[in-house]
Amino acid sequence: MVGYYKYISKFGNEEEINIDILESDKDVYNFFHKEKKINCKNIYVSNIDYTPIYQKELLKYFNYIKETIEKEIKDGLAVEEIKTTTILKNNERLEELQKLFGLQQFKCNEEYILVPASDFGVFSLYKDVNLKQDQLPIRLYEFAKCYRIEEKKKDSLKRPTTFNLPDVHCFIDKNVYEEVKKHLVIYSKILKILEIPFFISLRISEKEYQEKKEIIRNIAKELEKDIIVNIVPNSIKYWESKFKYIYKDSNNEYIQLSTVQVDYKTSNIFKIKMEGKNIKIIHSSIGSMERLLYSYLDK
């Protein structure tokens, strides 16, 4: 589902890109940015695995990044900090969510799973709830432990099978993209503090883009960053739009860091309602600690 691309500059100007060879946001980025990145520190962290010996060696960096993230998120968003379980009894709702996510998960046995994302615990906690309008928005923050089966680069900081995810879920019914902008601004600030350079891409359904393109232009101006926009015919997985902050490492590989996604589907699966109606859910994360640590050391 390639769709077509637009390039929104940090000044809010929109330019359509009509080049057949561009098949991904990375291709578009490379078209506009010809330079190659050079690792000036001679630090090569691509193959560092996430074993106890490395955890001990890198703990001071890990703690600094975590403290920076949590300070900015707690100062910038009125979050409620929660802690959900990492083991859940499987059921039809979780299986449906799993299909939407498309993740390979660890099964403890036929009944129980290790959560591949904090969403599984958060939505299980709030299932079948009927909220009042004056309760929204609800912003839930969790420093979550997640487990996934990775087919490539497993055990590296880029794709460990076990990772830590500072994660925010926002239950909301209106002014959705104003909320999205708040999260993007905070994540931009955090990455600037950590001195991790990034570019922004957005994948969004055609309908959503036509309805929200003015605020997307305003987001580009607010962040003072260009946005590569991939417009696709229909929604993908569970989201209508997905903003990504992407780091280009010293090997000229791309690391997805922060994501902010607008979800109109999950509320119906778990029956998370507001006065009997489905709500919108924003899935938001600065990125896994392991990828942030990798990028922090590599930059």
Q: Which CATH number do you get for residue 44?
A: 3.30.930
Q: How far apart are CA 43 and CA 31, in angstroms?
A: 27
In a domain, 191, yes or no: yes
Cis peptide bond prior to 137, omega within 30° of 0 = yes
227 CB-side CA count, 13 A: 27
Contact assessment for residue 270 and residue 128, using Cβ atoms and an 8 Å cutoff: yes
Contact assessment for residue 8 and residue 225, using Cβ atoms and an 8 Å cutoff: no
Residue with tokens 């709500």: 279
What one-letter code names the amino acid at 71? K
DSSP code for 79: P
Angle between helices 176-193 and 52-76 (to 10 degrees): 130
- The pLDDT of residue 2 is 63
**Tens digits of per-residue pLDDT, 247-285?**
999 888 899 999 999 999 999 999 999 999 999 999 999
Q: How far apart are CA 113 and CA 95, in angstroms?
A: 10
pLDDT above 50 (res 202): yes
Contact assessment for residue 288 and residue 190, using Cβ atoms and an 8 Å cutoff: no
- State both tokens at 57: 């060696």
| Alpha-helical segments (H) within the chain | 25-32, 52-76, 92-101, 119-125, 176-193, 206-223, 266-270, 289-298
Give the pLDDT mean for 41-48.
43
In a domain, 108, yes or no: no
- The pLDDT of residue 293 is 92
* Burial category of 218 from C-beta neighbours within 10 Å (exposed 0-12, middle 13-18, buried 19 and up): middle
Give the pLDDT mean for 99-108.
76
Per-residue pLDDT band for 53 (boundaries 50, 70, 90) equals: very low
Contact assessment for residue 157 and residue 290, using Cβ atoms and an 8 Å cutoff: yes
DSSP-assigned states of every residue in 228-278: EEEEESS-BTTEEEEEEEEEE-TTS-EEEEEEEEEESSHHHHHT-EETTEE
Q: How far apart are CA 234 and CA 213, in angstroms?
A: 16
The closest alpha carbon to 239, from 128, 146, 124, 117, belongs to 117
In a domain, 202, yes or no: yes
Q: Which domain does 57 fall in, by range?
A: 4-80+132-143+165-298
**Tens digits of per-residue pLDDT, 110-164?**
788 888 889 999 999 999 999 999 999 999 999 999 988 766 655 578 878 889 9
In a domain, 92, yes or no: no
Give the global pTM. 0.87
Report the range of poorest mean pLDDT among 26-30, 94-98, 201-205: 26-30
Structural domain total, the chain:
1
Contact assessment for residue 284 and residue 139, using Cβ atoms and an 8 Å cutoff: no
Contact assessment for residue 84 and residue 125, using Cβ atoms and an 8 Å cutoff: yes
64 CB-side CA count, 13 A: 12
In a domain, 101, yes or no: no
DSSP code for 170: E
In a domain, 291, yes or no: yes
Give the pLDDT mean for 26-47.
49
Query: Dihedral sign, CA of 117, 81, 256, 288?
Result: negative
- The pLDDT of residue 42 is 37
Cα-atom radius of gyration of the chain, to the nearest Å? 19
In a domain, 96, yes or no: no
In a domain, 114, yes or no: no
